[in-house]
Amino acid sequence: MKFIADRMLGRLAKELRMLGYDTVFYRGEDPYPLVKLAREEGRVILTRNTKLTPKRPEDRIVRIMEDKPSLQLRELIQSKIISLHEEIPFSRCLLCNIVLNEIPREEAEGKVPDFIFYQQKEFFRCPQCSRIFWQGSHQDHMLEKIERLKTLG
């Protein structure tokens, strides 16, 4: 499943990328290009906009009801739009939405902080922005969050 998230849903877009979902973040205000891109690329639209409704049978629009960005991912899981088993977490660049390539460990030396280099076994690079990622780099308690979400059932 691929997504396009509207401008109200920046955090959700980033969290979906962390989970491995192909998610475009649309920053514009005009909903027309959003709908057009969703159709062209077969993406499910995630929006907070109540006026955005399906116009064609192929339009798939999921309205996010939750105000709090920290709870929006949970809403998608509870409504069974996504599951935690479909994609590979931490496999995608958070900035470019592109699948990362694993690189030989020695290529990361000098490009990441020394303590990270000695701590980590696997490194990944984004083919677009060349940023290097490792398990913990995707941030902030996301692993814990995934574990908590798994207990939702």
Which chain residues interact with Zn ion by CB under 5 A? Answer: 93, 95-96, 126, 128-129
Closest distance to Zn ion from the beta carbon of 53 (Å): 33
- The CA distance from 119 to 117, in Å, is 6
Closest distance to Zn ion from the beta carbon of 94 (Å): 8
For residues 76 and 133, which CB has a smaller minimum distance to Zn ion in the complex?
Answer: 133
* Residue the block writes with tokens 């692993």: 143
For residues 123 and 149, which CB has a smaller minimum distance to Zn ion in the complex?
Answer: 123
Closest distance to Zn ion from the beta carbon of 18 (Å): 13
For residues 96 and 116, which CB has a smaller minimum distance to Zn ion in the complex?
Answer: 96
Closest distance to Zn ion from the beta carbon of 92 (Å): 9
Cα separations in angstroms, 122 against 34, 109, 129: 36, 12, 18
For residues 61 and 103, which CB has a smaller minimum distance to Zn ion in the complex?
Answer: 103
For residues 64 and 126, which CB has a smaller minimum distance to Zn ion in the complex?
Answer: 126
Closest distance to Zn ion from the beta carbon of 147 (Å): 26
